Structures are given as C-alpha cells and as structure tokens.
C-alpha cells in the first residue's frame, strides 16, 4: 500500500512568519491533494497537483509537487490566525484508492 | 497490522435499501470520524465521535446514523439509500483532534 509521511507533525508559528509542510510518498504520485480541516468541520480541499514540478497557489498558500522525489511541499507565506488547523495530504494511486498523510497541526500565535 | 479497517470495500445498493458500513481501529484512539469524498468537493465530515457513547453531527449528517458503543468500532448506517449517497466513504481515527489521523482505505458505494 502507498504510505504518505507528513512532517512536521505539529507546528507553532508567530503570525506573519512563513512555514512549510512536507508530504513524502513511498511510491510514485499520480495525484496529490492538500486539505485543511478545522475542529468539527469537514476537510476543505485546497488544491490538487498532478505533474512533476507543478506548482499551484491559493491566496497565500503555495503547493509544489516534485515527482522525482515523490514529495510535495505546502508553503504558507505571512501566516495568519485563519491559517490555523490541520493540513492533510492525500494521494491517488490510480487504483481508485486514496491514501492520506497523518496530518500536520498548525497553530498561529497572534 | 494496526490501523483502521473498513468493510466492505465496494458495495452496490438499490434505492431505499439500508446498510451499515463498518469501521474498526485497534489503536485505542478516542476520536473517530466518517467522511464522504465526492468529485470536485473534497472530503466532507458526516459524523464524528470523541469517545465511546459520544457522537456528534458533522457537515453532512442527513441520511446517516452512527453509534459508538465501544472505543474500537464506529459503524455508519444508511437508513434508506439514495442515489445522492453514491460516494467514497472514509473512516478515520486519531488520538486526539490535534494529533495525526489514520484513515481507512475507503468504501466505494454506488446507489442505483
């Protein structure tokens, strides 16, 4: 089965600071998804990356897929309290099975 | 191997039928939740539980019931299946809401 490792497991940053979350796969990534969740709420789809070197941005969040390294990174610029939550990466192995990382808990201190 | 086990992996139902999706974890996690994933909509929370005997509704609870009689099991019941419930369902568990999640492999449900 495909495994996704996320790092760090938790992150506490001061408002205004930049941060990066990594997601590493044990197998080739055909589709990599990033989600965000707040307590008691459904996961919010952020973006999907499909090709090596692809980079997408959503407001102050940028994600990049490095297919050669089987890794994706999520970068938040000038973090705000609204960015706090749990970030999950998920992957599609083309077998109609989805796999998810364990998540990264982000706290932003005002 | 320790983890979250979901059964069945695939299921086809006729409109109006009822069924239960099973979810079990052996990690002694208190927090368990059910999600559905639909194309273009991402994952949405159906119900969640913060411990045995405690459940609460998520974002899209209508048409689904849950119970948590033990720490290990968190079944999801469809009372009267509708085509709108065709989706992929994921069960997840966690030590706590701020800890990492462990997801099951999913159940692909088709309602015809």
Extended beta strands in A1-110, E state: 4-7, 10-14, 19-25, 31-37, 44-49, 55-58, 61-66, 71-76, 85-92, 98-100, 104-109
Residue A2: predicted pLDDT: 55
The answer to whether B35 and B41 are in contact (CB under 8 A) is: no
Give me the pLDDT at residue A39, please.
Answer: 60
Of B43, B99, B106, the CB nearest to A42: B43
Digit-coded pLDDT (tens) for A34-53:
888 776 566 677 888 888 88
On whether the CB atoms of residues A54 and A32 are closer than 8 A, the answer is no
pLDDT of residue B75: 98
CA B11 – CA B33 distance, rounded (Å):
20
Lowest-confidence segment of B25-29, B37-41, B80-84, B97-101 by average pLDDT: B97-101
Q: Report pLDDT for A41.
A: 61
Q: Which of A18, A32, A29 is nearest to A89 (CA)?
A: A32
Strand partners for B17 = none
Asked if B101 and A88 come within 8 Å (Cβ–Cβ), the reply is yes
Q: What is the pLDDT of residues B49-107, one digit of tens each?
A: 889 999 988 878 999 999 999 999 999 999 999 999 999 898 988 876 555 667 788 89
pLDDT-based confidence at residue A65 (cuts at 50, 70, 90): very high
Instruction: Give the mutation candidate from B2, B42, B87 for the A interface (greatest A CB count, under 10 A).
Output: B42
Q: Is A26 on the interface with B (CB under 8 A)?
A: no
Contact A1/B105, CB-based, under 8 Å? Answer: yes
CB pairs under 8 A between A and B: 59
């Amino acid at each position: 089965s495909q495994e996704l490792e996320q790092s760090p497991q938790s992150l506490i940053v001061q408002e205004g600071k930049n941060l990066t979350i990594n997601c590493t796969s044990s197998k080739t990534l055909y589709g990599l998804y990033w989600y965000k969740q707040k307590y008691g709420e459904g996961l919010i789809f952020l973006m999907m990356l499909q090709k090596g070197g692809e980079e997408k941005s959503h407001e102050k969040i940028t994600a990049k897929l490095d297919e050669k390294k089987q890794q994706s990174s999520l970068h938040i610029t000038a973090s705000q309290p609204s960015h706090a939550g749990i970030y999950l990466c998920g992957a599609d192995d083309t077998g109609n099975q989805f796999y998810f990382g364990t998540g990264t808990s982000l706290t932003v201190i005002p | 191997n320790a983890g979250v086990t979901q059964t069945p992996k695939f299921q086809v139902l006729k409109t109006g039928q009822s069924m239960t999706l099973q979810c079990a974890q052996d990690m002694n996690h208190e927090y368990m939740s059910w999600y559905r994933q639909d194309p273009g909509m991402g994952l949405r929370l159906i119900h969640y539980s913060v411990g045995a005997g405690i459940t609460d509704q998520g974002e899209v609870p209508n048409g689904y019931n849950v119970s948590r009689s033990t720490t290990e099991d968190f079944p999801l019941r469809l009372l009267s299946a509708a085509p709108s419930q065709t989706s992929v369902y994921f069960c997840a568990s966690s030590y706590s809401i701020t800890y990492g999640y462990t997801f099951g492999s999913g159940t692909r449900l088709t309602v015809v």
